[in-house]
C-alpha cells in the first residue's frame, strides 16, 4: 500500500466554471499526511482519511463544496500498481446514488401530471408486477420510491447485512463471472417476480433494488424514451454535470480519468474497474464525480430541480432499515451528524467503489469516495468517520 497522502488540491469559484489552483500535492514522511494550508480546518479530516487507508482501503477522496468554494482531499492510491492518488476530477461508479436521480425524474413527471404518486403500479406497468404473491395492483408508485413495496430484491447482495441463500435465484454479482454479463430491466424484474414478497405492501420499509428498476421502466413507459436519456436531459444537462452520465447499453469502461476500483473475492483483492453495470440499471449504474454529486444534491435541496410540493414529498421519511436513526424519503436519506447538523443525501455501493455523501445544515456538501467496498464493520465505520468528520469540519 502506498504512503498515505492528503492534498489540498483546488478551490472552484462559486457560481463560475473557473478553477484556481491554490496548492499543489504534498507528502511528508512515510505513514503521515501532508499538512494542508488550513491545518486547523483539515487536520481532523486528514486523520480520519489516513485511518481509513490504514484500515485497508487502497485510496480515498473527499470533496467538500461550500457556497464560498470547493476543496478536494485525497489519501492512499487510486492505482495500486503506480501508487498514483485518486485524481481530483476522477469519475467513479456511484451505485445507488442513481436512485436519487431516478426519483427526481419520477417526481418531475408527477409535477407534470403524468404520474400519480399513490396510483397502483399496475396502471402504468400492466402485468409486470405479478406472480408468487406479488401484485402491482396493491403497490403504489410512492411505495416503490420509498422501499415500502415489499417486493423481493433481485440481488443477493441487496442487503449486505444478510447472508444470501445459495439456493435463491437472486443474482450474485460480486464475482468475476458476472462482470461481462448483460441484463435488461425486464430480466431483473423476472428474477424478482420468481420469489414471494418480503412483506405486505406498506407494512414497513426494506431497501430493495427491484423498486428502482421498476421506476426506470415506468419512466420509459411514460416518456417513450430510455430512463438514462430522461436523466440526462432533465438533470445532467440542466445542471451542467459534465462528468456525470448514464452508461450506454453494454458499456463496461469508465470514460475519462478514473481510479482503479478493487474488490475482495475470497480474501484476494481483484481489479474490478471494468464491468457491465446493466444488473444495476436504474438502481445503480451511473457514473459521476464527487464534485458533480455535491452539485446535484445541493441543487436538488435548493429547489432547482423540483417544485416545492414534490420536494416536500421527497423529504417525508420512514425509518431506514440500513441505517438506525436515519429516515428514507423518496430516494433521499435524512440523518443527523454527530455534531448535530441535519444532513440529506444518499450514497452508493457497487463492486469497486463506494460513495457516501450528504448536504449539511449551512450549505456544505460532502462526497467521500473509496475505491474498494468495505469488507467488514470496522472498514465501513472508517468511511462513516470520514464523512461525519468532513460534514462537521467542512
Question: Domain extents for the chain?
Answer: 10-94+327-393, 95-256+268-285
Report d(CA 222, CA 243) in Å as an integer: 27
Which residue has better confidence, 157 or 208?
208
The more confidently predicted of residues 298 and 39 is 298
Q: Which helix (H) or strand (E) holds 353?
A: strand 353-360
**pLDDT exceeds cutoff 60 at 302:** yes
Average pLDDT taken over every residue of the chain:
89
Residues whose CB is less than 8 angstroms from the CB of residue 383 and which lie 6 or more positions away in sequence, other chains included: 52, 57, 60, 354, 356, 368, 370, 374
* Cα 238 to Cα 232: distance, rounded to the nearest angstrom: 8
CA distance linking residue 290 with residue 70, whole number of Å: 11
pLDDT at residue number 160? 47
Looking at 2, 9, 96, 278, which residue is catalytic? 96
Rounded distance between C-alpha atoms, residue 274 and residue 221, angstroms: 30
Instruction: Say if residue 8's pLDDT is above 80.
Output: no
What value does the mean pLDDT take over residues 52-57? 98
Task: Work out the average pLDDT over 64-84.
Answer: 96
- Active site (annotated) includes residue 37: no
The predicted model gives 127-131 an average pLDDT of 98
Identify which of 48, 40, 66, 57 has the alpha carbon closest to the alpha carbon of residue 6: 48
Residue 170 has pLDDT above 60, yes or no: yes
Check residue 42 and give its pLDDT.
84
Domain 95-256+268-285: which CATH class? Answer: alpha beta
In the block, residue with C-alpha cell 449539511: 360
Residue 250 confidence (pLDDT)? 94
Confidence of residue 38 (pLDDT cuts 50, 70, 90): low
- Predicted model pTM: 0.90
Amino acid at each position: 500500500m502506498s504512503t498515505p497522502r492528503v492534498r489540498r488540491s483546488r478551490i472552484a469559484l462559486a457560481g463560475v466554471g473557473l478553477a484556481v489552483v491554490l496548492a499543489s500535492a504534498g507528502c511528508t514522511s512515510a505513514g503521515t499526511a501532508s499538512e494542508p494550508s488550513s491545518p486547523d480546518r483539515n487536520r481532523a479530516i486528514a486523520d480520519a482519511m489516513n485511518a481509513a487507508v490504514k484500515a485497508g482501503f487502497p485510496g480515498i477522496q473527499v470533496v467538500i463544496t461550500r457556497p464560498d468554494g470547493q476543496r478536494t482531499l485525497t489519501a492512499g492510491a487510486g492505482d495500486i500498481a503506480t501508487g498514483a492518488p485518486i485524481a481530483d476530477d476522477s469519475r467513479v461508479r456511484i451505485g445507488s446514488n442513481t436512485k436519487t436521480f431516478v426519483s427526481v425524474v419520477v417526481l418531475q413527471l408527477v409535477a407534470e401530471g403524468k404520474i400519480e404518486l399513490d396510483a397502483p403500479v399496475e396502471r402504468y406497468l400492466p402485468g409486470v408486477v405479478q406472480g408468487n404473491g406479488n401484485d402491482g395492483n396493491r403497490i403504489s408508485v410512492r411505495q416503490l420510491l420509498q422501499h415500502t413495496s415489499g417486493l423481493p430484491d433481485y440481488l443477493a447482495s441487496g442487503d449486505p447485512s444478510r447472508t444470501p441463500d445459495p439456493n435463491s435465484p437472486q443474482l450474485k454479482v460480486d464475482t468475476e463471472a458476472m462482470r461481462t454479463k448483460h441484463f435488461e430491466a425486464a430480466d431483473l424484474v423476472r428474477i424478482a417476480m420468481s420469489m414471494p414478497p418480503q412483506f405486505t405492501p406498506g407494512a414497513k420499509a426494506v431497501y430493495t433494488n427491484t423498486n428502482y428498476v421498476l421506476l426506470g421502466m415506468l419512466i420509459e413507459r411514460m416518456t417513450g424514451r430510455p430512463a438514462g436519456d430522461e436523466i440526462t436531459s432533465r438533470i445532467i444537462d440542466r445542471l451542467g454535470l459534465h462528468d456525470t452520465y448514464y452508461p450506454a447499453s453494454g458499456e463496461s469502461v469508465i470514460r475519462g480519468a478514473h481510479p482503479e476500483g478493487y474488490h475482495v473475492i475470497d480474501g484476494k483483492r481483484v481489479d474490478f474497474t471494468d464491468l457491465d453495470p446493466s444488473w444495476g440499471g436504474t438502481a445503480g449504474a451511473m457514473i459521476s464525480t464527487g464534485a458533480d454529486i455535491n452539485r446535484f444534491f445541493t441543487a436538488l435541496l435548493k429547489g432547482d430541480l423540483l417544485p416545492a410540493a414534490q420536494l416536500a414529498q421527497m423529504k417525508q421519511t420512514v425509518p431506514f432499515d440500513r441505517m438506525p436513526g436515519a429516515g428514507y424519503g423518496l430516494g433521499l436519506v435524512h440523518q443527523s451528524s454527530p455534531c448535530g447538523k441535519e444532513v440529506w443525501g444518499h450514497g452508493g455501493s457497487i463492486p469497486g467503489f463506494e460513495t457516501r455523501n450528504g448536504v449539511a445544515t449551512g450549505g456544505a456538501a460532502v462526497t467521500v469516495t473509496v475505491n474498494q467496498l468495505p469488507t467488514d464493520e470496522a472498514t465501513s465505520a472508517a468511511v462513516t468517520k470520514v464523512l461525519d468528520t468532513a460534514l462537521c469540519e467542512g
